[in-house]
Chain A
Amino acid sequence: MQLALPRPGYAAVSRWFLAAALAGLLVADLHVTTLHPWADLARLLDGLVRPDFLSVEGWSVVYTVAFAVLGVGLGAGTGLLLAIPFARSRTVRLACAGFRAVHELFWALLLMQVFGLSAATGVLAIALPYAGICAKVYAEILEEADLAALRVLPVGTGAVSAFLYARLPEVAGRMRDYTLYRLECGLRSSLVLGFIGLPTMGFYLESAFRQGRYAEAGALLLVFYGLIGTRRLWIRGWTVPLLLIAAPLALPPAIGNAAVGPSLARFLGHDIVPAPLRGAALADPETWARLWAWLRPILTDQILPGTIQTLILAQIALAATALGGLVLFPLTARRFTGPLGRPLGRVLLVVVRSTPEYMLAYCGLQLLGPSMLPAILALALHNAGIVAYLMGRHADALPYRADAPRGLNLYAYETVPRLYGQFLAYLLYRWELILRESAIFGILGVTTLGFYVDAAISELRLDVALVLIAATALVTVAVDALSRGLRRSLRIDTLPTRLSGPAPVAG
């Protein structure tokens, strides 16, 4: 089908997004309800300056790493296997899209009903979505690989030999980089799982925050930054097998719920089946009428308002990320900061991007009270840090002419116009991630989709929770499709979007 509409330009798309965000600001709840936000912030920062390392629960650090290593190991391994049929099989692609559209925390909330607060819950909550993400990215890496060597192999070379000689060496480096990056994400996910009760660092962070033990919270945070900052030292070729062997030994014992078989059967056969269908005659039209009567209020009173709030939050956060990214990226670009400023800028952005946005939002809610404001700040800080870091690398790779202007003129006439397509590619790619995270922030009290999921689970109405999670996944998939469509129509769909990508080449 030929569309008669003209292709939108960079400026038009930027204006639409900004206008949507401004419209969102009009209806968003941005009130600060706490009395002394600055005093609390000062105490929090004081905790970071004067941390109490002795109060850190050592095992929580071990569990955080163990969950991340096993979860990412399992997810990446499954992802690698799924990457092979990914391009050919629509079923595999759809399944992977479904797995990655559901956030780790939602997986954990569901898995908890079967496995209780156990290691299996933590590991699987990371492994399931990561398998979907890894499958997609590994498949892309395989697809982008240079196949010249493959074509000149002698006729009759076996598939395995061909893969090992002509394919794997081409892609191994990028796959290793990506997996290492995933492990960093896994550490963040693992920490955040603690906020819903698993025994990782997040659990202790949450109680320290809640009870105002800021010296302990500061120490936990610094230990976490240390873990992420030193990952290249302790994750190496020879340490990976050791980590994979040691991790299962270091897992925490399960808490309650020993009989997995019966509870899994009850979960699948009863709990998540919509209430009107349980034990009902499926041939009876009455049953389906009752199902609709059950579903309709969920749609109108939960999914609809939850989706609207989620989209509003994501839209404002995306625009704030864009502005933040544009303002911050000169901090790490050679032409804009001196030899002293640039390393400082990099450290700042690495710290910001290492901080899990869920935890930022949690702190924000403690300081500012329940409204959209802390959620917007958390999403914008984290994502602007990432976008700025990546843009800074691209800015340094730009070839400027010898008589190029300097300062703000260089920024406005050369750097930003040249990088704008790349900038939009990063933002549109992060749109889906911001949306997933916006939905999750409902668990913290913002009335996005996660708010209703959390309520349904605490009322033990798992059938409702499942419908809500499926709706969240659908919204995520829809935004992902829209983002890809926009990237294609702007002709920026071939630009790099991944954090772990190779260093940009001058172009």
Chain B
Amino acid sequence: MVPDGSRAEIVLENAAASYGGHPVLLGLDLTVRAGERVALMGRSGAGKSTLIGLIQAQAPDRVALVPQAAALVRTLSVFHNVYMGRLDRRSTLHNLRTLVRPAQADIDVVQKILDRVGLAEKLWAKAGALSGGQQQRVSVARALYNGRPILVGDEPVSALDRQQGARILAEMAGSHQTLILALHDVTLALAHTDRIVVLEAGRIVLDAPAQSLDPARLRPYYEAA
């Protein structure tokens, strides 16, 4: 359980956002402490992706992001796409060299990360040649390799089956201190996070420890309005 005295990683106070003049988030307060594992839930259009954007923007240098679309460079190999997770922490010269001839040390590290998401044999495949689920796992691998303490993911396992999704979520939890994930699978969310935040029409309508909830309690937020 998270000790109450731990540091607040993300603090949003009265956060609002609109998209094309249409308000998406309305005066929303959210504090996430170091070590918490938060699931953001709610119907599509509730404002989850916008909230993810605000969270990422608040601490860009402490966040490893898994964006909604995998956002891979299709013409580059899986290795290079994963390596991109740490471009900012290597010298530009090293990065340019890696494009042409990667160092064995980097290859080994990336290979281990790919092992963890079950893509070990795809190291040199072109990202554009992978299936949707594989691309999503490459995107997760990029965030794992990035290694920053807060992992923020927008539906990071939406293209995977429940078993695979559970494995990937466990990997994320194993290497990142704080998790903030938009999820739509209630079972996965309850099993792999300790706090559930439900959004509806731009507002937080439920914020409770996962232990105190069960699928029946969350169902109303998913039934047709």
Point out residues on A near B: beta carbons under 8 Å: 10, 399-403, 405-409, 412-414, 417-418, 420-421
CB-based contact B65/A409 at 8 Å: no
User: Which 9 residue pairs spanning A and B have beta carbons closest together?
Assistant: A401-B71, A405-B87, A409-B87, A403-B65, A417-B73, A401-B67, A417-B75, A408-B92, A417-B76
Residues in A with CB closer than 8 Å to B195 are none
Neighbouring B residues of A401 by C-beta, 8 Å: 65, 67, 71
Considering only residues 77-92 of chain B, those with a C-beta below 8 Å from chain A are: 80, 84, 87-88, 92
A-B contact pairs, 15 of them (CB 8 A): A10-B75, A399-B71, A401-B67, A402-B53, A402-B65, A403-B56, A403-B63, A403-B64, A408-B92, A412-B95, A412-B96, A413-B73, A413-B84, A414-B73, A418-B73
Q: Nearest chain A CB to B123's CB is how many angstroms away?
A: 17
| B99 in complex: contacting residue of A10, A399, A413, CB < 8 Å | A413
B67 contacts A402, C-beta separation under 8 Å = yes
What chain B residues lie within 8 Å of A420 (beta carbons)? 75
Q: Give A421 to B126 CA distance when docked, in angstroms.
A: 14
Q: With A403-B60, A407-B92 in contact, do A413 and B87 touch (Cβ < 8 Å)?
A: yes
Contacts of B87 in A (CB 8 A): 405, 409, 413
A7 to chain B, nearest CB (A): 12
Question: Is the pair A412, B99 in contact by a Cβ cutoff of 8 Å?
Answer: yes
Question: Chain B contacts of A399 at CB under 8 A?
Answer: 71
A-contact 0/1 string along B41-83, CB 8 Å cutoff: 0000000000001001100100111010001011110001000
Q: State in angstroms the CA–CA spacing of A407 and B96 once bound together.
A: 12
Q: Is the interface of B mostly helix, strand, loop or mixed?
A: helix
Asked if residues A413 and B80 are in contact (CB atoms below 8 Å), the reply is: yes
Tell me whether B76 and A409 are in contact (CB under 8 A): no
A401, A403, A406 interface centre (most CB from chain B within 10 Å): A403
A403-B63, A414-B73, A417-B76 given as contacts; is B84 within 8 A of A408 (CB)?
A: no
Inter-chain contacts of B80 with A (CB < 8 A): 413
Decide: B84 and A405 in contact? CB cutoff 8 A.
Answer: yes
Chain B residues in 8 Å Cβ range of A421: 75
Q: Which of A400, A405, A418 contacts B75 (CB 8 A)?
A: A418
Hey, what's the 0/1 contact readout for B162-191 against A, CB within 8 Å counting as 1?
000000000000000000000000000000
> Distance (Å) between the CB of B39 and the closest chain A CB?
20
Q: How far is the CB of B137 from chain A (nearest CB, A)?
A: 16
Complex interface: chain B residues within 8 A of A418 (CB): 73-75
Contact residues in B for A403 (Cβ distance below 8 Å): 56, 60, 63-65, 67
Residues in chain B near residue A10, CB distance under 8 A: 75
Docked pose: A413 CA to B100 CA in angstroms: 11
Interface residues of B, count at CB 8 A: 21
Q: How far apart are the CA atoms of A408 and B87 in the complex, in Å?
A: 10
- A394 CB to closest chain B CB (Å) equals 14
Q: Which residues of A contact B76 (CB under 8 A)?
A: 413, 417
Q: CA A397 – CA B56 in complex, angstroms?
A: 22
A190, B88: Cα distance in complex, Å = 51
Which residue of chain A is the closest to B143 with respect to CB atoms?
A: A403
Measured CB to CB, the nearest residue on chain A to B53 is A402
Q: How far is the CB of B121 from chain A (nearest CB, A)?
A: 20
Q: Is the CB of B73 within 8 A of A402?
A: no
Q: How far is the CB of B8 from chain A (nearest CB, A)?
A: 21
Q: Which residues of A contact B88 (CB under 8 A)?
A: 405-406, 409
| List of A residues within 8 angstroms of B60 by Cβ | 403
Rounded to whole angstroms, the CA-CA distance of A403 and B84 in the bound complex is: 10
Select one of A402, A409, A414, A417 contacting B92, CB under 8 A: A409
Of A400, A402, A409, A417, which contacts B95 at CB under 8 A?
A: A409
Asked if A408 meets B65 with Cβ closer than 8 Å, knowing A402-B53, A413-B80, A417-B76, the reply is no
- Residues of A close to B67: CB separation below 8 A: 401-403
Q: How far is the CA of A26 from the CA of B64 in the complex (A)?
A: 50
Q: Which residues of chain B have C-beta atoms less than 8 A from A417's C-beta?
A: 73, 75-76
Chain A nearest CB, measured from B171 CB (Å):
19
B56, B57, B67, B74 interface centre (most CB from chain A within 10 Å)? B67
**What per-residue 1/0 map shows which CB atoms of B3-39 lie under 8 Å from chain A?**
0000000000000000000000000000000000000
Q: Which residues on the B side are within 8 Å of A412 (C-beta)?
A: 95-96, 99
Residues of chain B lying within 8 A (CB to CB) of residue A402: 53, 56-57, 65, 67
Nearest B residue to A409 via CB reads B87
Measured between alpha carbons, how far is A401 from B81 in the docked complex, in Å? Answer: 13
Residues in A whose Cβ lies below 8 Å from that of B99: 412-413
Report how far A402 CA is from B55 CA in the complex, Å: 11
B187 to A: closest C-beta gap in Å: 28
What separation, in Å, do the CA atoms of A407 and B75 have in the docked complex?
Answer: 20
Name the B residues within 8 Å of A407 (CB-CB): 92
Instruction: Please indicate the chain B residues that have their CB under 8 angstroms from the CB of A413 in the complex.
Output: 73, 76, 80, 84, 87, 95, 99
In the bound complex, what is the Cα–Cα distance between A412 and B92 (angstroms)? Answer: 9
Q: Give the complex CA separation of A226 and B84 in angstroms.
A: 45
- Do B56 and A408 touch across chains, with their CB atoms under 8 A apart? no
Chain A residues positioned under 8 Å from B53 (CB to CB): 402
A12 CB → nearest B CB, Å: 13
Q: Distance (Å) between the CB of B61 and the closest chain A CB?
A: 10
Cα–Cα distance between A10 and B77 once the two chains are bound (Å): 13
**Chain B CB within 10 Å, residue with most, of A412, A413, A417:** A413
Rounded to whole angstroms, the CA-CA distance of A406 and B56 in the bound complex is 16
The CA-CA distance from A377 to B64 in the complex, in Å, is 46
- Residues of chain A contacted by B74 (CB below 8 angstroms): 418
Given contacts A402-B56, A402-B65, 5 further A-B pairs with CB under 8 A are A399-B71, A401-B65, A403-B67, A413-B76, A413-B84
Alpha-carbon distance A399/B68, docked complex (angstroms): 13
Q: Which residue of A lies closest to B148 (CB)?
A: A403
CA distance A406 to B125 in the complex (A): 25
* Nearest A-chain residue to B75, judged by Cβ: A417
Bound Cα distance A420, B88 (Å): 23
Could you tell me the distance in whole angstroms from the C-beta of B48 to the nearest C-beta in chain A?
Answer: 14
Closest B residue, CB atoms, query A419: B75
Query: Considering the chains assembled together, what is the distance between the CA atoms of A131 and B123 in angstroms?
Result: 51
Q: Tell me which residues across on chain A come within 8 A of B92, comparing CB atoms.
A: 407-409
Complex contacts, A408 vs chain B, CB 8 Å = 92, 95-96
Give the distance to chain B from A122, nearest Cβ to Cβ, in Å.
46
Which residue of chain B has its CB nearest to the CB of A407? B92
Q: What is the minimal beta-carbon distance from B1 to any residue of chain A, in angstroms?
A: 30
Contacts of B63 in A (CB 8 A): 403
Closest A residue, CB atoms, query B63: A403
Interchain CA distance A413-B60 in the complex, whole Å: 19
Return chain A residues, CB-CB under 8 Å to B84: 405, 413-414
CB nearest neighbor in B for A408:
B92
A226 to B225, CA, bound (A): 61
